[in-house]
Every structure is written in C-alpha cells, then in structure tokens.
Copies of this chain bind each other. A is one copy, B any other.
Amino acid sequence: MNKNRLEAFSDGVIAIIITIMVLELKIPHNPTWQSYLDVYPIFISYALSFVLLGLYWSSHHHLFETVSKVNNKILWLNMLTLFCHSLIPFATASMGENSFASIPVAIYAAVLFIANVSYLILVNGLRSLHSSDSSFHKAYKGHKIIYTSMAVNASAAIVSLIGFPKTAFLLIALKAVMWFIPNHRIGSYKTGEDRTSK
C-alpha cells in the first residue's frame, strides 16, 4: 500500500512534468507557415524530453514492480529523482528558446546527467534495502543503462561547451532512439512478458 501511494504520487508528478512542457510551445500570433516553422527548436526539444521522461516513467515503473518494501529513505530518494526530473521542462524550454546555443544545451545535458545520478542513488537505496536473494535483486539489471546514459549526457555537455551544441543534442537523441531498436541487448526496461518471450 505504501508502495502504491508512492507510485501513484510519482506518476502524478511525472504526468504533470511531461505535460506542462507543452505550455512552452509559443503560440504563433502570425498565421504564416514561417511562424510555425520558427517554433521547431522548441518542438524538437519538447519531443526529445517527452521521450526521455517517458523512459524515466517506464524505468521507474519497472523498478518498482519487483520492489517489496519501501521506507522513509526511499520516499526521499524518490522525491530527489522527481525534483531533478522536474528541472527538465526548464532546461528544455531554455534550450529551445535559445535555438540550441552552446550553454543551454550543455545545461540541458547536465540536468539529464544529474537526473541519472539521482536515479542511480534511488536504485542503490532500493538494492541496500532488499536482501541480495530477493526478487528485486534478481530482476534488476539496469545499471548498465544508467551508466551508458550518464556517459552520453556528460559527453554531450562537454561537446556542447567546446562548440558543437547540435552534435551534443543529436548524441542525446541518438541514445534515446537506441532503446527503440528491437533486440538491443541492454534492455532492462522490458516488461516481464518480453523477458519470458526471449
């Protein structure tokens, strides 16, 4: 029950985070094609963040599936991940508004990196709470993904700062798209059904 209310609250916060980003799409006040095209940097940024927050929700969902208990520490580590992810709309909008300038893209990548770190801390909190022969320990294999994600986001921040912000953006986008390629081997986001069918 405890766990369920934690999941429900997280779902609520993630649903709001993912949706309020759409408020940043500036309404064109000039009914021309050009004014709609001008929105594209914000639109692409929104699309990427939607996917990344979707991955966060999905992985949060699978993480808690095999969790058998939560305590106050987990509640707050979860709050920390929600806080870090709640900065994504800000980072997304400032990246889009400034048309992928160097510093905003680096800050976007840094926010994603920090969000990864917070998620890693949550995962480790859950690991130390569950005994090593629990179903949680057996089911969880997501470290590889988090480390990959952290490496990519850190690299993207650097790549952007040395002057290639669009390459940095593409790097992050590519990493996100990778999860949709069938049969990639690092998929801890899979449902039980997927796992058994392989």
- Residues in A lying within 8 Å of B, measured CB to CB: 1-2, 5, 7-9, 11-20, 22-25, 27-33, 36, 47, 50-51, 54, 57-58, 61, 65, 69-72, 75-76, 79, 83, 86-87, 89-90, 93-94, 97-98, 101-104, 107, 180, 187, 189-194
Contact = CB atoms under 8 A, between A and B. Distances in A.
Contact of A33 (B89, B97, B103): B103
A58 B189 CA distance: 28
B8 A13 contact: no
A7 to B, nearest CB: 7
A22 B24 CA distance: 12
Contact of A86 (B27, B50, B180): B50
Contacts of A90: 22, 25, 27
- DSSP class of A's interface residues: helix, strand, loop or mixed? helix
Nearest to A187: B72
A79 B54 contact: yes
Contact of A102 (B31, B71, B76, B79): B31
Contacts of A104: 28, 31
A55 to B, nearest CB: 9
A163 to B, nearest CB: 13
A107 B36 contact: yes
Given A23-B23, A36-B103, 13 more contacts: A5-B61, A9-B11, A17-B19, A19-B20, A20-B23, A29-B98, A30-B98, A33-B103, A50-B83, A50-B86, A54-B76, A72-B191, A75-B191
Given A72-B58, A98-B28, A194-B72, A13 B15 contact: yes
B19 A13 contact: yes
